[in-house]
Structure 1
Amino acid sequence: MIEPLALTPYLFFTGKGGVGKTSIACATAISAAKNGKKVLLVSTDPASNLDDVLEMKVSQHPAQTAVAGLWALNLDPEEAARDYRESVVEPYRGVLPDEAIISMEEQLSGACTVEIAAFNMFCRLLDQADYREHYDHIVFDTAPTGHTLRLLSLPKAWTGFLGQNQHGTSCIGPLAGLEEQRQQYEHAVAAITDGDATMLFLVARPEESSLAEAYRASDELKELGLECQRLIINGVFTGGESDDAGASLKQRQAQALENMPQALKSVPLRIVPLLPVAPVGLEGLRLLADQLAYGSDLISALMEKAASQGQGHRNAPALKDILTGLKPVVSDLRKRENGIVLAMGKGGVGKTTVAAATALALFNQGHTVHLSTTDPAAHLEMALSGAETAGEGRLTVSRIDPELELKAYRQEVMDTVGAGMDEDERQLLAEDLASPCTEEIAIFRAFARVVDKVEEGFVVLDTAPTGHTLLLLDNTQSYHREVERSTGEVPKEVRQLLPRLRDPELTHVLVVTLAQATPVLEASRLQDDLRRAGIEPAWWVINQTWTGVPTEDPILKSLARAEIVWLAEVTENLAEKVTRIPWQVKEPKGLDLMQLL
């Protein structure tokens, strides 16, 4: 139970897109305000729907909401990153060649820059006295990642030596000019890691992959000192078992909860039921706040609200024209001798299942197929469930292990570039190699080796480098720096990778999403990112829709109606070619993956 009076001054809600952390963060803030506290609600989510949830315009300045004692603030980390990037690059405009400026801008376009820019905003809120004195609680929708905290804990990065270092990667570089903010950063990190000041809420769904992500986040952040954690499992189905869909969903969720990592079971837990409608608007959020604090009958109240507002009477626009299943995708591929298929999307949308099903379908058509993943949780093996053993050598499976690839790459750089350095230089280089961008580079090289198997047939990959990574390594200066890090030249498969991925006859990107707000918005940004790198997605796959699932359960039927607006958004505004995959009563594992066609 989340009792408002037991809350710490700083509350962070973290979780993958689509798990419901914004609604839960808002409801927690409202609950605290109802108990007489002054609360500031802050969102730093690039796909923030705080305006819709609170039914008001939320800007970058605290605004009083319709709830007494509650203010809201919407900070855009992408905009902050642009400002931050410009502050780093601007002094060099007109001094360095245009090509060098473009290279710097691209180097500062990745996740590290966004994380540091977002953390700057956190720091201001955590460190400024007027915020601390005016509010009893500051509730953050999204929290600093372990990557951010590791970046800020690298001691040599603050010495100023990095500004003269020519060997380091780009993502630590911006910190070289931030010595004057060191004290503010140290205060912020101290506050975040103080269990009396900060509480971290891990928000997850009752699904194996979501709980695995929550476990990794919990473990990583505990190692960095964030010990005061709570787990919220959102979307637990409490409906009946009157039909196959309801019974199957209930059984799957129960199994996922039973099998969740043991370490998570020791984290204080709160269950939130699967809701028939999103708790949008103050009335819905108040109901959710009561559910969190007192376990009220939220579902019945929301069903009544939906009925009174006539929810679900809107017709699905051109829904009959949306293709169903993966068969149209595979039909596009079957006449080709080889190709690269990339299933891309945020965690929890089902891209592993889509990749595995596509690989099996191509194999059944007589193709040689290599299926691979960069998923550290090895979900690919769970999806195949032994189906690969029927491959007769024409279906092979591998996994790019990020940890092993990163370890090997770091060692290679230390043995080559670091060989002629003094101890201080080697220590800084080691810190440099601890950055998230180094992991991108290491995985990129392994990814290129797998893609090179396209000469033998089809290569199907679950996840791929982002457009930022591809552009960074496509830049001549970045390549040159990368060559300096190793003893040899850039491998052939690395040189060929980007031209291969840009060839629409060879590469087919499947953007996988759910028919929900956050996954669709994040998929749209992914598509923009790929287009920036010269890669055009071939298909959008809207996965696990309740639309088209035969069920009489009122909760599931209401969820199907809520999907209409997002199905329309994808088909009418975002994608050239779209197909949807209805939620499967029989879980798609092993040979049962073929039911997705």
Structure 2
Amino acid sequence: MKKYAIHEVKQQQYLFFTGKGGVGKTSLACATAIAMAGEGEQVLLISTDPASNLQDVFHQNISQHGTPIADVAGLTVVNLDPVKAANEYRESVVGPYRGVLPDSAITNMEEQLSGSCTVEIAAFNQFSDFLTNAEDAHKYDHIIFDTAPTGHTLRMLQLPTAWTSFIKTNKHGASCLGQLSGLEQRKEVYRQAVDNLADGSKTKLILVSRPQRAALKEADRSARELRQLGIANQLLVVNGLMKSPDNSDELAAEMYAAQQQALGAMPDTLATMKTLYVPLRSYDMDSVGNIRKMLCANVAGTVSSSESISDYQSLDNLIHTIHDTGKRVVFTMGKGGVGKTTVAMHIALGLKQLGDDVLLTTTDPANHLNAHLAEEAGIEMAIIDEQKVLETYKDEVRAKAREAGVTDFSYIEEDLRSPCTQEIAVFRRFAEIVMQADNKTVVIDTAPTGHALLLLDSTQSYDRQIAHSEGDAPVAVQRLLPRLCDEGQSEFIIVTLPEPTPVLEAKRLRADLERAGIHQQWWVVNQCLILNHSSDSFLRAKANNEIKWIKEVKRISDDHMVLRPWIK
């Protein structure tokens, strides 16, 4: 493998960085953008992640319309905020009718545009505009997209085709966004977005992975699915590759061997792809200075840690606490790649051993739950099959329309073809699963933070719609938000790593939960090298950098903190 350098990706104007959560997409996208700007190019860096952390890297507020970076001449950064985009989109639709239509009609339009469908299409419209805008294409030498973790990214990249297909078959102008949403006017933009994504001379997709089996497996799945969408110009970058260590340290040797084993079992699709690597760094990627060093010569720290960490709980302690308090809904939440799925599996297994009847599920489109392990332990699993729940939901809508005496189904069928219909169907299935907490403990492994926040926003949107419709919604949906807000029933566990980005993102997640009326208490900090007591100078330097962030979690959680060492 060759080392990653920007000349490998300079031929294309549009660059997409994608991959499993926690593999370093944002760091690599930022390093690429900073290096290109350093060569005198004009660069636009856009985050499509609802839980973007670009503000943490550049240490300044980032708007959704573009913010020049003070420390990097030639670099402009955008955070696509789906909620703000939805508000602007809603006003663009409703605004022209204020003072023209009665207030009741305006209120009805606003309510019709208050759901998760509006959030999705508004964010996608922004994404499409940056991908097709002629002025931006002329102004910037490169437009770089730092995308959300893979499942959400695949959804985003599928939308140009989905909306183009929907508009092509839409005869009456109806949609889940209402008659006045103006989707037909966007048809040419969507078509051009599809063309640009598929044009290898314009677009390159950089699949970022760690040298780990799970990350490489997801990169392989993404590569195949994206090729089916026509995005074939792909490059694999393996981030965090260790140099062969001095074998005197058992941990360093074990970590290196695990990486080499994963690379030796590279999935077939990736094995034939051009692959570059970025060395593992001992320092945090939390400043422009450190990001600049990421693509330079290896700069290894040699600081040894003399501090120790005490006053923390084990995961077994937390499991017993959940069992003893009788909590029936348990969420694991956090940034991608922090180990939410592993923690959810451990909690489910532990509660089962204590005698609880456990149901395990996930809201992550890139499901990583170990079904075989759960089955062996006698744990029930509820996997949300998106296509299956979509068809079930469509059949329900059609049945209700027939009961209401509807004879012309053309409008209904058009609405059901909308890409947003799948979001509604999946949400309702999620609510049905959570309702099973009436008689068992439901453990939920959530998608990475941004996607989880959109799910939470959907919950609140549905709750407002229920209030307006006087309860005309499934019982499971009606009971969802009250159950989540009841700290006697629900436990929201934030999982993080002892690093700046996961901790800072987790703090924002906690604030969002509190604003939604959800109390959050327990934190799990995974992969704490400081607990492994390595003698390797490189790993000791990494461990030294962990102390600050472990202390911060200890402060935030008021000592409700679980620490776990690095485990293969």
- Per the alignment, residue 439 of structure 1 pairs with 422
The whole-number CA distance in structure 2 between the counterparts of 1:550 and 1:110 is 50
1:43 aligns with 2:46: yes
Cα distance between partner residues in 1 of 2:172 and 2:314: 53
| Map 1:56-205 → 2, pairs under 5 A | 63=68, 71-78=74-81, 79-90=84-95, 95-96=103-104, 100=108, 103-104=111-112, 106-107=114-115, 112-113=120-121, 115-120=123-128, 122-123=130-131, 126-129=132-135, 131-142=136-147, 145-153=153-161, 154-155=163-164, 158=167, 165=174, 168-170=175-177, 176-177=181-182, 179-205=184-210
Alpha-carbon spacing, 1:342–1:288, altered in 2? closer, same or farther (3 Å): closer
Deviation at 1:4, TM superposition (A): 1.3
2:317 to 328, 337, 360: 328
Per-residue Cα deviation, 1:487-528 (whole angstroms, up to 9, x for no partner): xxx544443333322221111111222233333343334334
The root-mean-square deviation of aligned C-alpha atoms, in Å, is 4.0
Structure 1, residues 248-300: CA drift from partner, whole Å, max 9, x if none?
A: 3223333433444322333321122221113565654454334xxxxxxx33x
* CA contact 2:374–2:381 (8 Å) conserved in 1: no
Partner of 1:389 in structure 2?
376
Per-residue Cα deviation, 1:450-503 (whole angstroms, up to 9, x for no partner): 3343343422222286211211222345995996xxxxxx54444333332222
In structure 2, the partner of 1:235 is 240
Equivalent residue number for residue 218 of structure 1: 223
Preserved CA contact (<8 Å) 2:526 2:564: yes
Partners of 2:489 and 2:66 in 1: CA distance = 48
Matches within 5 A, 1:298-317: 298-299=297-298, 302-303=299-300, 306=301
Residue 392 of structure 2 is aligned with which of 378, 388, 408? 408
Residue 12 of structure 1 deviates from its aligned partner by 2.1
CA contact (8 A) 1:513 1:541 kept: yes
CA–CA distance in 1 between the matches of 2:437 and 2:60?
51
Q: Distance in 2 between the 1:347 and 1:281 partners? A: 20
Q: Deviations along 1:387-414, whole A, 9 cap, x unmatched?
A: 65355xxx43443333432343334445
2:464 equivalent to 1:475: yes
Report the equivalent of 2:257: 251
Distance 1:273 1:404, change over 3 A: farther
Summarize the Cα distance change of 1:135–1:457 in structure 2 as closer, same or farther, 3 Å threshold: closer
2:16–2:144 contact (8 Å) kept in structure 1: yes
- Matched residues in 2 for 1:461 and 1:120: separation? 33
Q: Distance in 2 between matches of 1:50 and 1:376?
A: 24
Q: Quote the Cα distance in structure 2 between the aligned partners of 1:38 and 1:387.
A: 51
Unaligned runs of 5+ in 2: none
Q: Deviations over 1:183-211 (max 9, x none)?
A: 44433432232111111112122233333
Please tell me whether the aligned partners of residues 160 and 176 of structure 1 are also in contact (alpha carbons under 8 angstroms): no
1:577–1:473 distance in 2 versus 1, CA, 3 Å? farther
2:565 equivalent to 1:583: yes
Shift in Å, 1:157 = 5.4
In the other structure, the counterpart of 1:487 is none
Report SS of the residue matched to 2:123: helix
State the 1:380 CA deviation.
2.3
In structure 1, the residue corresponding to 2:348 is in which secondary structure? helix
- Going from structure 1 to structure 2, the CA distance change for 1:516 and 1:285 (only over 3 Å counts) comes to closer
- State the AA in 2 paired with 1:119: F
Q: Is the 8 A contact 1:4 1:28 kept in 2?
A: no
Equivalent pair of 1:515/1:545 in contact (CA under 8 Å): yes
Counterpart selection for 1:540 from 499, 512, 523? 523
What code does the residue aligned with 2:146 have? Answer: D
The count of aligned residue pairs is 544
Q: Which amino acid aligns with 2:13?
A: P
Structure 1 residues 207 and 100: alpha-carbon distance in aligned structure 2, compared to 1, 3 A threshold: farther
Partners of 1:136 and 1:281 lie apart in 2 by 24
The 5-angstrom pairing of residues 423-462 of structure 1 reads 425=411, 428-432=414-418, 434-435=419-420, 438-462=421-445
In the TM superposition, what whole-angstrom CA distance separates every residue of 1:347-371 from its partner, at most 9, and x where no partner exists?
Answer: 3221121112112222222333333
Using a 3 Å threshold, how does the CA distance of structure 1 residues 365 and 265 change in structure 2: closer, same or farther? same
Give yes or no for contact 1:338–1:457 (8 Å, CA) kept in 2: no
**What does residue range 250-399 of structure 1 map to in structure 2 within 5 Å?**
250-278=256-284, 284-290=290-296, 298-299=297-298, 302-303=299-300, 306=301, 320-321=310-311, 323-337=312-326, 339-375=328-364, 379-381=368-370, 386=373, 388-391=375-378, 395-399=379-383
Change (3 A) 1:348 1:72: same
Structure 1 vs Structure 2: percent identity of aligned residues?
A: 35
Is contact 1:468-1:529 (8 Å) kept? no
Residues 510 and 187 of structure 1, relative CA distance in 2, 3 Å threshold: same
Amino acid at match of 2:411: E
Match of 1:19 in 2: 23
Cα-to-partner distance string for 1:205-231 (whole Å, 9 max, x where unaligned): 223333343334333332222111111
